[in-house]
Amino acid sequence: MLDSSTDMKDNCKKIRELLSAQAMEFALDEMAAKLAKMHPTADDVVVLGMASRGIPLAKKICERLSQKFNKTVPMGSLDATFYRDDYHYRTHMGSSEMRITEMPASVEGKTVILVDDVLYTGRSVRAAMQAILDLGRPAAIRLCVLVDRGHRELPIAPDCVGLTVETAQDQEVRVQIEPIDKENSVYLVEVEA
């Protein structure tokens, strides 16, 4: 039975677990296998994780791809908050420049595998694509998300997805992943006003 207490940093009630730690690992295995099939060589492939939970997911996918190719796949991360079209309506965060945690040498001419935890409206992905294009001209950008919850506002679709789930407007998908969180799991939650 689910503990419906508010144990996630804000007012929300857990409805159900969508992925356990084991199911998350299986989904990541399947996603990496699909990506390896789409890109049979590690040459000219770069994996980029979107802040914040897309970064540890990208690391897990990158490790799996490196094992499959028997070659290190370069990985980086970016925070495209300041590229969002709603940035001026959100709470400001002090600095107004893009923050890059890690970046491989270049995205120029590479296939960039962009990794995020949850795909919702598509606005964060659009912002991340703009940030990538400011870094160079990749050959292609492929979107890889753990969960697609629908409700798109922009015409953006994932190339690789671990789980697709329908959600109501008052629901959210919460991905918990170490080391950011204490566990690896995905929950459907109801946001309480």
Q: Which two tokens stand for residue 57?
A: 């997911």
The CATH class given to the 25-167 domain equals alpha beta
Query: Is 60 exceeded by the pLDDT of residue 2?
Result: no
User: What is the Cα Rg of the chain in Å?
Assistant: 17
pLDDT in tens, 57-104: 999 999 999 999 999 999 999 887 766 555 545 455 454 444 555 677
The H or E element spanning position 130 is helix 123-135
Please check whether residue 80 is in contact with residue 50, taking contact to mean a CB–CB distance below 8 angstroms.
yes
| pLDDT for the residue 12 | 86
Query: Is 60 exceeded by the pLDDT of residue 137?
Result: yes
Reduced to 3 states (helix: H, G, I; strand: E, B; else coil), residue 75 is strand
What average pLDDT is seen over the chain? 87
- Cα(28)–Cα(33) distance, integer angstroms: 8
pLDDT in tens, 178-190: 999 999 999 999 9
| pLDDT for the residue 99 | 52
For 93-126, letters b (16+ CB in 10 Å) and e give eeeeebeeeeeeeebeebbbbbbbbbbbebbbbb
